[in-house]
Amino acid sequence: MNRIDVEVAIVGGGIAGLWIANLLLRRGIEVALCEGGAGGLSQTSAAQGIIHSGVKYALDGVATPASQAIAPMPARWRRCLAGCGEIDLRGVPVLAPHCHLWARRRLGAKLANALAKQPWAGAEQVADADYPAPFERADGALFRLQDFVLDVPALCRRLATPLGKRLLKVRVEPRHLAVADAKVSALRTDAVEVRARRFVFAAGAGNEALAAAAGHPTPMQRRPLQHVFAHGRSPAPIFAHCLTDGAPQPTLTIATIGGRHAIGGALAEAGATRSKGEQVAAAQQTLQAALPGLDWRRHRFDTLRIDRAEPAQTDGRRPQQAFAAVGGNCLTVWPVKLTLAPQLGDMALKALGA
């Protein structure tokens, strides 16, 4: 069995584990990261690569804890992409420099007034003559947001590169934790033994069992979603939030990635209780109403069910910010959203005393 000794051992190769590992490496701290699958291609990929500005969480004109936590994030990500932030992300492709927010015409004036109350949002209304091709026949108001979109697989590859041989292709299960006196001393699998002073659990849905095995239970909740994918040509990529009714949240969040439209938003949340056929039918109907300029009948539809793992909330709703909890010499983290990785990094460095 191969033995590795490091300062910090991290379990989980999604955005949380990779981000924290890079922060520690830049501070000269020895790190090993254990990931048994394709890092970043489960819960991280469900983010559609969108770096949110927080606007979608304050569409009634009132700032919320979520919008306030997210608002500083785009600037921090852009500094990283330029090579002058806390992590060097130069070379990670930006699929779209901004996203759009579309609302039915009757909601447009109300939405414009709400956005005007939030100068931090930097939202600009688009003139009818300047609507991009997918929205040309959409009867509504269109706004340009600071939200932008990253290539998630490329982002994960960029973050994995500095780890080199310390990125271990090994699946860590609760039975692999060596625990004594309420502290973890090592991770022991058939292939490797990793000894460390501190351990970070960044394994998404796996965190609950790992934290419990370490002797520091951390309640977790699952928010089920059913994302929709529409395969087919469109006159231009779509990166947008669409409001189709009076609810203060986007019905659709669309990101065109790899030749397909990945569709989330309230549709994905409501789809958790629908069959695949019902979800596809709901998506087709909603898309045709929001973007009639595209013939959605020519698209091939598929769905993907995802259980979004998060720290438990008393009301079961989405947490307002990233999460980090210390138990013994272990740190359990959830980023909650891709956008909040820099905030989670701040929390992790403070908890680890780095």
**Domain shared by 214 and 226, yes or no:** no
Give the DSSP letter string of 64-129. -HHHHHHTTHHHHHHHHHTT-SSS--TT--EEES--EEEEEHHHHHHHHHHHHT-GGG--EEPPGG
Mean pLDDT of 3-13: 96
Domain harbouring 17, CATH code: 3.50.50.60
Mean pLDDT of 240-263: 87
| pLDDT at residue 295 tops 70 | yes
The pLDDT of residue 40:
46
Mean pLDDT of 241-264: 87
The pLDDT of residue 107:
77
Q: For 151-299, list the strands marked E by DSSP.
A: 167-168, 177-180, 183-188, 192-201, 220-231, 239-243, 252-257, 260-264
pTM above 0.85, yes or no: yes
Q: In one letter, which amino acid is 143?
A: F
**Domain shared by 299 and 229, yes or no:** yes
Digit-coded pLDDT (tens) for 177-189: 999 888 999 999 9
Domain harbouring 289, CATH code: 3.30.9.10
Contacts of 129 (CB under 8 A, 6+ apart): none
**Domain shared by 256 and 299, yes or no:** yes
Q: Could you tell me how far CA 172 lies from the centroid of its own chain?
A: 23
63 lies in a domain?
no
| pLDDT at residue 256 tops 50 | yes
Which region among 35-39, 155-159, 343-347 has the lowest average model confidence (pLDDT)?
Answer: 35-39
90 lies in a domain?
no
Number of domain units in the chain: 2
Counted residue by residue, the chain has a size of 354
**Where residue 45 falls among pLDDT bands split at 50, 70, 90?**
low
**Domain shared by 127 and 242, yes or no:** yes
Mean pLDDT of 38-62: 76
Q: Which of 352, 351, 318 is nearest to 335 (CA)?
A: 318
127 lies in a domain?
yes
**Where residue 122 falls among pLDDT bands split at 50, 70, 90?**
confident
| pLDDT at residue 324 tops 80 | yes
d(CA 145, CA 124) in angstroms, rounded, equals: 7
| pLDDT at residue 247 tops 70 | no
**Domain shared by 243 and 327, yes or no:** no
Q: Coil, helix or strand for 258?
A: coil
**Where residue 255 falls among pLDDT bands split at 50, 70, 90?**
very high
Digit-coded pLDDT (tens) for 261-294: 999 999 999 999 999 999 999 999 999 988 988 8
**Domain shared by 343 and 247, yes or no:** no
d(CA 341, CA 334) in angstroms, rounded, equals: 9
The range of the structural domain enclosing residue 27 comes to 2-44+154-219+314-352
**Domain shared by 23 and 37, yes or no:** yes
Give the DSSP letter string of 307-331. EEEEE--TT-S--SS-EEEEETTEE
pLDDT averaged over the chain?
91
d(CA 76, CA 96) in angstroms, rounded, equals: 17
| pLDDT at residue 106 tops 60 | yes
| pLDDT at residue 244 tops 90 | no
